[in-house]
């Protein structure tokens, strides 16, 4: 099965979408593991923590990326 690719114009939305999923998945997993250990309730608690953190992280990334780009551009020499 071949996946259909999205047009390039969606990259500005897709990049923070994927980044927010990956980052919140890892960070919420580490935090949940630290707090609960490998207890039987680890997985449901992790998924709950991940969902809440992703709901916050995705719109935050959408707002933070343009600011971050400007800050980084001010810190580097043009090519």
Is 7 contained in some domain? no
Spatial contact of 36 and 44, defined as CB atoms under 8 Å apart: no
| pLDDT for position 12 | 85
Task: Report which of 58, 4, 48 is spatially closest to residue 28, judged by C-alpha positions.
Answer: 48
Is 33 contained in some domain? yes
State how far the Cα of 72 lies from the Cα of 79, in Å rounded to an integer. 13
Is 5 contained in some domain? no
Is 21 contained in some domain? yes
| Total structural domains within the chain | 1
| pLDDT for position 53 | 95
Is 79 contained in some domain? no
- Convert the pLDDT of each residue in 21-78 to its tens digit: 999 999 999 999 999 999 999 999 999 999 999 999 999 999 999 999 999 999 999 8
Q: What residues make up the domain containing 58?
A: 12-73
Is 4 contained in some domain? no
């Amino acid at each position: 099965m071949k996946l259909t690719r999205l047009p390039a114009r969606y990259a500005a939305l897709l990049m923070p979408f994927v980044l927010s999923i990956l980052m919140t998945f890892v960070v919420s997993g580490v935090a949940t593991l630290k707090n609960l250990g490998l207890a039987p309730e680890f997985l449901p608690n992790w998924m709950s923590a991940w969902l809440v953190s992703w709901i916050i992280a995705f719109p935050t990334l959408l707002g933070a990326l343009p600011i971050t780009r400007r800050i980084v551009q001010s810190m580097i020499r043009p090519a």
